[in-house]
Chains A and B, each alone.
Chain A
Amino acid sequence: MTQELPAPIVNADSQEFWAAARNDRLLIRKCRACGKTHFMPRHLCPACWSADLEWVQSSGRGTVHSFTIIRRASVPEFAARVPYVVALIDLEEGPRMMANILGEDALKTEIGDPVEVCFEARAEGARIPQFVRKVK
């Protein structure tokens, strides 16, 4: 059995993001002024500096921009998980985020693979967005 990994750290910028993740919803920030979406929630829009932002729910669909298979974990918590896939996912709505690719076929990941969000349990009841391949 894989040991439960630590919960993500929540702060004022990301509180709603992680709260939604506990309900299996992936939220991203959208600027009401310029309409751009961004990942890594911020106090203001990094494109136009408007602070008039809203949270929108992502479709959870995306593609793999790039990935690696970690063979040697950099922190002890992840040692039991190797080999595992770390990927940069381009969400359908535009922003890019990092996640693991989970699932039995994860090690077959290729650039351009369509992926879909899923949620993984972490310590303290936290859940974090992850992705699975949707390759036919």
Chain B
Amino acid sequence: MPTTGVETLRNRVAIVGVGESDIGKVPHMTGLGLNAQAAKRALDEAGLKVSDIDGLLTAYSFTEPYFMLGTVLCEYLGLQPRFNASMVVGGASPAVMLKHAAEAIATGQCNTVLVCAGENRATGQTRDQAVAALAAVGHPYFERPYGASIPGCYAMIARRHMNRFGTTPEQLATVAVTTRAHAGLHPNAHMRKPITLADVQSSKPIADPLRMLDCCIISDAGGAFIVTSAERAKDLRLKPAYLAGIGEFHTHEHILCAPSLSEFGGRESGQAAYRMAGLGPSDVDVAELYDCFTIVPIIELEELGFCSPGEGGPFYEKGAASMGGKLPVNTHGGMLSHAHAGAAGGLFGIVEAVRQLRGGLGPRQVEGAEVALVHNEGSIMSSHCTAILTSQPR
């Protein structure tokens, strides 16, 4: 076993329970309520008691912007933990929380950490409020005066990728179509109705080259997972998913300060995760990649070594990312179709990875999945975290 750095975490912890709240339009529930529902489902399937939880990590909420959200959530859930924080690295938060949970458990600060996130983004605010809240992510002094939107920032990344590598609007649309097809296999996905390339390419233009169906959906949703020591995980109800590797990297916050529009921190976070796990891209059976816009998983496939730079579009186009393909991607339907509600969006990638490793998912099961990779990113390809989970300690 390695004795230094983050690699000492390898195989030390496991995810032993995962949960999703009701997803879609859930107007009768608050954001905290969605977190609570997901947490209860995760705890119940793990076969643990509330009193077993002695740590809590959560992210942030636009619709219920409590100061000290982690402590607020502990209060709401009746928890008095020894370890608690609200972590804000945007969409990268869930995987980063997994890393911090692992560190806390491995260093004996606590035994069992509940990680959860969720918001009522679909019904807890008007559509204009939702869009305006996201616009606030732009730099307040040097981006917002120009009316840049989040889709606009990702559109500039997409445009650069198209210019440099020849990526096409059809390839972007293929990502949306593939991901929607996967969502159709998931009973709790928000958007399950199949779509075609023509649907994507005739959807409302948002920020060229991105159209409405190139953008993630807006949902009410909460997600949760429970992390405990690998030792404790052995005698729990379900097959644990072991944390084999994890790494993060942060290069900028605002797109105007991004070192590059075609190379991002996913390369470094991925390499750190592979190194810790002693695994490489060819060992991965299923990948759950952040997909706030269709260009994003294309770039992540390249950054994480699943294909060469510029080959992410063709990877989708030839069906390699589809169920039954070389590397099924976003088997739950991703943020493009399953759910997007703040940090819960990326958290569902972790939930799905754990379920794939357990097996028995019927038509959406990746046959014999033993190694799953999850990639989360926050803001405009700014903060990255890659996690590798395995069905057995390796």
Query: CB-defined interface of B251-265 with A at 8 Å, one 1/0 digit per residue?
Result: 000111100010000
Chain A residues, Cβ within 8 Å of B143: 98
Contact of B255 among A88, A99, A111, A122 (CB under 8 A): A88
Chain B residues, Cβ within 8 Å of A14: 141-142
B147 contacts A98, C-beta separation under 8 Å: no
Stretch at the interface among B9-17, B93-101, B203-211, B279-287: B203-211
Contact of B152 among A68, A76, A96, A99 (CB under 8 A): A68
Query: CB-defined interface of B352-378 with A at 8 Å, one 1/0 digit per residue?
Result: 000000000000000000000000000
Which of A77, A96, A128: most chain B CB closer than 10 A?
A96
B208 contacts A8, C-beta separation under 8 Å: no
Q: How many A-B residue pairs have CB under 8 A?
A: 109
B146 contacts A99, C-beta separation under 8 Å: yes
Instruction: State which residues 79-102 of B face A: CB under 8 Å.
Output: none
Contact of A70 among B131, B207, B255 (CB under 8 A): B207
Contact of A88 among B141, B149, B156, B207 (CB under 8 A): B156
B157: Cβ under 8 A from any A Cβ: yes
Residues of B within 8 A of A (CB-CB), count? 37
In the bound complex, how far is the Cα of B140 from the Cα of A6, in angstroms? Answer: 12
A97: Cβ under 8 A from any B Cβ: yes
Query: CB-defined interface of A47-77 with B at 8 Å, one 1/0 digit per residue?
Result: 0000000000000000001111111111111
Instruction: State which residues 49-105 of B face A: CB under 8 Å.
Output: none
A128 contacts B145, C-beta separation under 8 Å: yes
Report the contact-size class of chain A (Cβ under 8 Å from the partner).
35 or more
Contact of B156 among A84, A86, A97 (CB under 8 A): A86
Contact of B149 among A10, A73, A87 (CB under 8 A): A73
B149 contacts A70, C-beta separation under 8 Å: yes
Smallest Cβ distance from B278 to chain A, in angstroms? Answer: 35
B250: Cβ under 8 A from any A Cβ: no
> What does DSSP make chain A's interface, helix, strand, loop or mixed?
mixed
A40 contacts B256, C-beta separation under 8 Å: yes
Instruction: State which residues 93-108 of A face B: CB under 8 Å.
Output: 96-100
In the bound complex, how far is the Cα of B209 from the Cα of A70, in angstroms? Answer: 10
Contact of B131 among A8, A9, A66, A74 (CB under 8 A): A74
In the bound complex, how far is the Cα of B148 from the Cα of A68, in angstroms? Answer: 9
In the bound complex, how far is the Cα of B147 from the Cα of A6, in angstroms? Answer: 11
Which B residue sits closest to A122, measured CB to CB? Answer: B145
Which B residue sits closest to A69, measured CB to CB? Answer: B208
B139: Cβ under 8 A from any A Cβ: yes
Smallest Cβ distance from B135 to chain A, in angstroms? Answer: 4
In the bound complex, how far is the Cα of B156 from the Cα of A75, in angstroms? Answer: 18
A86 contacts B163, C-beta separation under 8 Å: no
B159 contacts A67, C-beta separation under 8 Å: yes
Chain B residues, Cβ within 8 Å of A8: 141, 145
Offer 12 A-B interface pairs, CB within 8 angstroms, sorted by A.
A5-B147, A6-B145, A14-B141, A40-B141, A40-B254, A67-B159, A70-B148, A72-B204, A72-B207, A86-B148, A98-B142, A111-B159
Q: Which residues of B contact A (CB under 8 A)?
A: 128, 131-132, 134-135, 139-152, 155-157, 159-160, 163, 204-210, 254-257, 261
Instruction: Please name 12 further chain A to chain B contacts, defined as beta carbons within 8 Å, in addition to the given A9-B140, A68-B155, sorted by A numbering.
Output: A65-B261, A66-B156, A67-B159, A70-B147, A70-B207, A73-B149, A74-B131, A76-B128, A77-B147, A86-B148, A98-B146, A100-B147
